[in-house]
Amino acid sequence: MAIKRTRESEEMYLETILLLHREHANVRAVDVGEELGYAKSSVSRGVNLLKDKGYIEIDPATGNITFTETGKKKAEGIYDRHRILTAALIKMGAEEHVAEENACRIEHVVSDEMMEVFKKFIEV
């Protein structure tokens, strides 16, 4: 269970940073914490883990977070999964807010093979 939770947390941070960057030129750890409702200590640890894995860089002078090429690709993939799952759940009859909420949970555990099924389902 620890591996899944670590992956889910990592993916939540990456997706949140991506979405914040779409709204703001500069994103800092404090912005991520506010968006997710996490304590500063948790965000600091999470962001540093992303940095250690080579997904992000943090400007030491400003605290601004930017993606590495690998990190941006991973974040966009996570967000793409979220969008596909949300669309599929809506197409199945779920209300938008219910689809969004559940897609956010499912995106971290669904297999690549199952994602292909969801992709085909929304294209039909």
Q: Which fold has domain 2-68?
A: Arc Repressor Mutant, subunit A (1.10.10)
pLDDT of residue 1: 43
CB-CB contact of 56 with 90 (8 Å)? no
Q: Would you state the structure tokens that stand for residue 55, as one six-digit string?
A: 């997904």
Amino acid letter, residue 89: L
Q: What is the pTM of this model?
A: 0.87
Let me know if domain 73-123 sits in CATH 1.20.1440.230.
no
Q: Judge if 2-68 and 73-123 fold alike in CATH terms.
A: no
DSSP string, 2-60: HHHHHHHHHHHHHHHHHHHHHH-S---HHHHHHHHT--HHHHHHHHHHHHHTTSEEE-T
**pLDDT tens digits, residue range 20-56?**
999 999 999 999 999 999 999 999 999 999 999 999 9
What's the average model confidence in pLDDT over 101-124? 92
- Domain segments of the chain: what residues? 2-68, 73-123
| Spatial separation of the C-alpha atoms in residues 39 and 104, rounded to whole Å | 20
Condensed to tens digits (0 to 9), the pLDDT of residues 49-89 reads: 999 999 999 999 999 999 999 999 999 999 999 999 999 99
Instruction: Provide the mean pLDDT of the chain.
Output: 93
pLDDT band per the 50, 70, 90 thresholds, residue 90 = very high
Asked if pLDDT for residue 9 goes beyond 80, the answer is yes
Which SS3 state, helix, strand or coil, does residue 80 take? helix
On the question of pLDDT at 6 being above 80, the answer is no
Question: 113 or 7: which carries more pLDDT confidence?
Answer: 113
- Pairing verdict, β 65-67 and 56-58: antiparallel
